[in-house]
């Protein structure tokens, strides 16, 4: 049998399935838990939020690529963690960035940490991922539909890749595989050839955009809300913010935490088409301006909450 395009693309990366991972319980705050150690979680809620970061470049101290390290928005005092803490026990996941993003989604560390949350008795497990972290949580949900994950929220995720991953100069050597696995040819092939999401899974794409640009400085809009997810009726909402502040800006934090707490339903084809006009076109009547800069930037359109709720 001939190999699929996906298998050809992934072949150079799949030799590594073990890599360092760690989980911190950040609400209520508990010590870090690494692979091989028991997860001493403190269950205080019926719902768990699991935060997954994206790329953190280490051009100077390249040895840090092999270590687990949280991003600033994952810490206990971060706005998003505090916004979620009213209804969720919050866990922050980190991983070494020395292999392809697709391998991270299948690593035993991530599977085991999610399994421990399920065994703890959480009724809902919500995965929230920024940038490459959005790809990781999407792939995890696709590959392990019986894992207990109930909701996935992608934020500025390069589902169809980022052009910046095509740059070949100045990349930290330990992170080359991770970065190259985010290139558009790789991501597009995998997205189109990969498994579909369970129809029972709640999911939303938070699409970030800066001014009148068709991207958030890093990822194009049609990569953040790609055609394959549109076909599955996956809803999307637009936030006026740059890629690097997508998990920290007040409006972004409010949007993400609200999506985590409320029920999400798949869109009808008509709703997807309306969303496309708002997201990619110019439809002034479909926009609900929530951001203070929206009035000064008429090309920015924000999908109204009515589309998200029903």
pLDDT in tens, 287-298: 333 333 332 232
Query: Per mean pLDDT, which of 65-79, 142-156, 169-183 is the most reliable?
Result: 142-156
Give the rounded percent of residues in the chain with a pLDDT score beyond 90: 58
Q: What is the pLDDT of residue 2?
A: 27
Q: What is the pLDDT of residue 299?
A: 24
Residue 4 has pLDDT above 50, yes or no: no
Q: What is the dihedral of CA 131, 68, 24, 148, to 10 degrees?
A: 60
Decide which of 73 and 166 is more confident: 73
Residue 35 has pLDDT above 90, yes or no: no
Q: What is the pLDDT of residue 29?
A: 85
Architecture of the domain whose range is 5-201+237-261: 3-Layer(aba) Sandwich (3.40)
Residue 282 has pLDDT above 80, yes or no: no
pTM above 0.75, yes or no: yes
Q: What is the pLDDT of residue 147?
A: 96
What confidence tier does 39 reach under pLDDT thresholds 50, 70, 90? low
Q: Average pLDDT, stretch 87-98?
A: 92
Q: How many CA atoms lie within 13 A of 90 on its CB side?
A: 26
**Which of 194-198, 229-233, 234-238, 263-267 has the least mean pLDDT?**
194-198
Q: Is 213 exposed, middle or buried (0-12, 13-18, 19+ CB in 10 A)?
A: middle
Residue 174 has pLDDT above 50, yes or no: yes
Return phi, psi of residue 281, to 5°.
Answer: -115, -150
What confidence tier does 184 reach under pLDDT thresholds 50, 70, 90? very high
Mean pLDDT of the chain, nearest integer: 82
Q: What is the pLDDT of residue 56?
A: 77
């Amino acid at each position: 049998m001939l190999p699929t395009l996906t298998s050809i693309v992934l072949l150079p990366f799949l030799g590594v399935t073990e890599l360092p991972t760690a989980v911190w319980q950040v609400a209520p705050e508990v010590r870090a838990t690494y692979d091989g150690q028991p997860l001493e979680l403190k269950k205080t809620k019926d719902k768990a939020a699991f935060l997954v970061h994206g790329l953190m470049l280490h051009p100077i101290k390249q040895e840090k690529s092999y270590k687990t390290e949280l991003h600033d928005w994952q810490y206990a005092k971060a706005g998003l963690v505090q916004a979620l803490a009213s209804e969720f026990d919050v866990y922050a996941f980190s991983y070494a960035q020395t292999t392809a993003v697709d391998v991270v989604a299948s690593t035993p560390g991530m599977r085991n940490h999610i399994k421990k949350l399920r065994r703890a008795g959480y009724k809902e497990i919500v995965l929230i991922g920024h940038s490459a972290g959005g790809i990781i949580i999407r792939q995890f949900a696709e590959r392990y539909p019986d894992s207990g994950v109930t909701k996935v929220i992608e934020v500025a995720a390069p589902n169809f890749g980022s052009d910046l991953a095509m740059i070949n100069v100045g990349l930290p050597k330990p992170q080359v595989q991770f970065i190259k696995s985010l290139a558009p040819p790789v991501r597009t092939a995998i997205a189109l050839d990969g498994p579909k999401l369970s129809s029972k899974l709640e999911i939303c794409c938070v699409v970030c955009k800066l001014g009148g640009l068709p991207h958030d400085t890093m990822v194009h809009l049609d990569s953040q809300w790609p055609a394959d997810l549109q076909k599955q009726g996956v809803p999307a909402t637009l936030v006026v913010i740059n890629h690097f502040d997508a998990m920290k800006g007040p409006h972004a934090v409010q949007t993400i935490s609200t999506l985590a707490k409320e029920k999400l339903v798949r869109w009808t084809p008509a709703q997807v088409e309306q969303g496309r006009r708002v997201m990619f076109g110019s439809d002034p009547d479909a926009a609900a301006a929530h951001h203070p800069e929206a009035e000064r930037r008429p090309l920015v359109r924000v999908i109204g909450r009515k589309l998200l709720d029903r």
